[in-house]
Structure 1
Amino acid sequence: MLREVTATRYVTPLREGGSLPGIVEADDLGTYVMKFTGAGQGRKTLVAEVLAGRLAQLLGLRVPELVGMQLDPVIGLSEPDEEVQDLLKASGGLNLGMDFLPGALGLDPLAFAVSPAEAGRVVWFDALVGNVDRSWRNPNLLVWHGEMWLIDHGATLVWHHNWPSATASSSSASKPYDASDHVLAPFGPDVASAAEELAPRVTGDLLAECAAAVPDEWLADEPGFAGPGELRDAYVRTLSARVPGLHERITIGEPSRDGPSRAPGWLTGDLPHGRRGERSARR
């Protein structure tokens, strides 16, 4: 399970993020980027953040610490923005915090070199979790103390927005992963070596450990499932089915630099006021 803290001060919203994440201080004296259950796609993006983020950590990729954050909406009463006020009011209880990396910069592929081996590990991982949001448009990679850190995994596990389709066929497991627009594509990702290194480590037990980190309350009342345990099993089965031959399904072609984003509409489109889609928490 996630370590749990309590938010004590709402510092400021991060307006680059489509779901208005905010910088928040907690009772452990830490500072976090907080993502809210009341934003955009709601708790499913938090499930994806935790499950994918924990999996990345266990595979040796750098992801800031994730914590559960208890929120009393009263801490945001001094925030003048009405939309932020509404978001806080809708998000009382358990939310998600990501350790804030002070001084971190967004990765610029023209200024920061990434080896083919490291690029391959990230691309292979993104293909496994179906990440549609680590493109050159929105890298979701930070450079901190000379190291590359992965952030913002709310746009992974996209099949859990339509479980009947995901569980009725194996199409999600066999579907190619187009990495042409991936921010690390220019570095010649060695996905074959990444598969050799990482695939044997993605066992049922490892995935079950990742799923166990997701709080029960974010998994409750999912249509078609008897409870959180059954839903966790579905995540494990779906991810397990994606591993065999994954690197052979990763394609890298010409990036669509002059065209629209290939991400789904729920990620890139404008939603009505107060229902912004989950996007980056870049800082």
Structure 2
Amino acid sequence: MNTPQSDHIPQEAFDWYDEYAHGLMDRRTFMNKLGGLAALGFSMSVLTSALLPNYALAEQVSFNDEDIKSTYEEFDSPDGHGTGRGYLVVPKNRDAKLPVVLVIHENRGLNPYIEDVARRLAKVGFIAFAPDALFPLGGYPGNDDEGRAMQETMDRAKIQNDFLAAAYFLKSHDNSNGKLGAVGFCFGGYIVNYLAAVDASLLSAGVPFYGTPASKNLRKNIKAPLIIQLAELDKRVNDTWPEYEQDLKENGVEYTMHMYKGANHGFHNDSTARYDEVNAELAWQRTIEFFNEKLT
């Protein structure tokens, strides 16, 4: 797979992008900081093309793949925005009941990378459903900057309830075997942690990638086994881990934490230079093996 090259880009650029992507730095400040690197000899076009996503790079499973079928499905969300919608991908030619996996996007809506993750899961035998938090506003707008700005305007509690409703919808799918897994990235990693905490009986397995934990008062409810995927260079999220781990231990939760050496926040996303192919493939292999163990 051809991916942007990151070896020559200073680490501080990735740190700035993380702050920008999570609302801790505005776009003007972010671009001015990159401009400072450009003044030192780094090409501005190389910096921006590497840090900002190019979703043409992220397709590992074609939407036309003959082994899967994809549709967009709506679901009721009475405690959220009333109605939600997501991308449902099912394996073809499977008559038996199958495990189901909720795929949860970052803080910018259902972009092509997340849809591809859903297809990857269906390709190996899971029914996958990827909701779009932005559906009440018309859906993912086609670029991450607009999507991020849209999601920031929405009621967070209603978004959480939409994902909770999506989880119930998927778990009760006609072809579900009744065992639900969830995998999410960044904001989606937080939502995996939240779903595990808000309803102890909901998940049979959860895999949050670089996601912060649910609120402390909810963590005592967690029963689902978890694989926690963290990036060594992701200080913002990693700072939340020691307290979260203590709570998981105190509550007897089955969990494994993997820290990926030299990886940045977002290392699984193969549309930017933060992508770390070796670590991403290892993390994904562990995810699939875990779901096969806990959901089948």
Q: Scaled by the length of structure 2, what TM-score is found? A: 0.29
Relative contact order: is structure 1 or structure 2 higher (C-alpha 8 Å, sep ≥ 6)?
Answer: 1
Q: Scaled by the length of structure 1, what TM-score is found? A: 0.30
